[in-house]
Chains A and B, each alone.
Chain A
Amino acid sequence: MNAFITRLGKAVGNVVGVLYQAGRDAIDMVLKNVLPFIAFIAFVIGLILETGVGEWLADGLSGLASSLPGLLLLAVIIGLPVLSPLLGPGAVIAQIIGVLLGTEIGAGDLDPALALPALWAINPQVGCDFIPVGLALGDAEPETVEVGVPAVLFSRMVTGPLAVVIGWLFSFGLYS
């Protein structure tokens, strides 16, 4: 009986220990990686929204987006490794351009068949601002982060416009 109770106590103690350590690791991760990043994007988003830079950017970019070549060019520009991390935070830019393009579609200025390539054209920068944190969440070593950040950014230069082409191919027969 005594032996059983001892064993039970040890087993429970073990599980509690594991859970407690898991919580400690989770808090550590949030304090070291997630919260600093949230602070940074909150500052950037606030600045972009409040100074009107966001609208100005979105206005300039949405002018491009009235045809397929324009959408491709839009994807190329947004996917540039220098711009993509800046345009990424909170998907603010993608959402603003998306709303502008939606307005144009609703007004009949943009062919609704282009909606699918447009969805890809406004978003080649998705997550480009978040690469170090995303990799850290996946427990990546510093060496991996060092290589992974440029790898994703370079890759987007190719796959950003490519996604627009794929979207265009899959839009055949849509709303026609």
Chain B
Amino acid sequence: MFDWLADAATEFISWFQRGAETFNGLVVGIVPLLIVLLTAVNALIALIGPERVNKFGEWAGREGFAYTPIRYLVWPVISVFVLTNPMAYTNGSFLPEIYKPGFYDSAVSFVHPPLGIFPHVNPGEFFVWGGILAGIVELGLNESELAVRYLITGFIVIYIRGLTTEWFTRRLWATQHDTEPAAA
């Protein structure tokens, strides 16, 4: 009877121990870097002056289709490459509100496609790529071929995702808020 109870208790607590390990890993692995990076970015914005930073946002956030590759391709790729997951999303702050969901969608969709070539962008989630890669390696096939194609399709997919999410954001904004989105 007591054995059974003890086993049940062990099982029960093990769910949360696993969670605690994960918590530990995330806090130790991500938070310190995130804090230092956020501080640096905040300070940089404050020193450059919010007006000038906003100018870039205005530039990337201009109306007109010609500017969409800047906010949904160039900016997310640079952000993910330089700041990595999850710090890259802080760069959304440079854009007008209406474009932030699209930028987030583009950026977050780009945290795995470069893994075959630039694993530094998201080492904690390597096996999104590495799992399938293992099969390719086992067959003795060239892994770079797949890595390059994953990266290239990544460029195409994140651009389409940014555009699609912007479209949905506009629709939803119109139905949920009476006010016009700022600077859109």
- A residues sitting closer than 8 Å to B (CB atoms) are 15, 18-19, 21-23, 25-27, 29-30, 34-35, 38-39, 41-47, 49-51, 90-91, 94-108, 110, 112, 115-116, 118-120, 122-123, 126-127, 130-131, 133-135, 137-141, 143-144, 146-152, 154-156, 158-159, 162-163, 166-167, 170-171, 174-175
Contacts and interface: CB of A to CB of B under 8 A. Distances in A.
B172 A151 contact: yes
B125 to A, nearest CB: 4
A46 B134 contact: no
B157 A166 contact: yes
- In the A-B complex, the 8 residue pairs with the closest CB atoms: A138-B92, A46-B19, A105-B135, A98-B131, A127-B108, A148-B101, A106-B138, A22-B42
Nearest to B125: A91
Given A144-B101, A147-B176, A123 B146 contact: no
Interface stretch (B1-9, B20-28, B62-70): B20-28
Nearest to B105: A152
A142 to B, nearest CB: 10
9 contacts: A15-B47, A27-B35, A46-B16, A115-B132, A135-B104, A137-B90, A138-B89, A147-B169, A151-B101
A140 B132 CA distance: 35
A89 B3 CA distance: 35
B136 A95 contact: no
A87 B172 CA distance: 24
Nearest to B167: A155
Contact of B105 (A97, A99, A127): A127
Given A127-B108, A147-B177, A148-B101, A38 B27 contact: yes
A22 B108 contact: no
A140 B92 contact: yes
B153 to A, nearest CB: 5
A92 B138 CA distance: 23
Contacts of A35: 27, 31
B143 to A, nearest CB: 10
A99 B127 contact: yes
A131 to B, nearest CB: 7
B15 A51 contact: yes
B19 A42 contact: yes
A102 B135 contact: yes
Contacts of B92: 134-135, 137-140
B131 A99 contact: yes
B146 A174 contact: yes
Contacts of B18: 45-47, 49-50
Given A42-B23, A99-B127, A163-B157, A155 B168 contact: yes
Interface in B152-184: 152-153, 156-157, 160-161, 164-165, 167-169, 171-173, 176-177, 181
A135 B136 contact: no
Contact of B161 (A21, A22, A106, A159): A159
A85 B177 CA distance: 24
A30 B87 CA distance: 11
A22 B146 contact: no
A174 B153 contact: no
A160 B149 CA distance: 17
A138 B135 contact: no
Contact of B39 (A19, A149, A159): A19
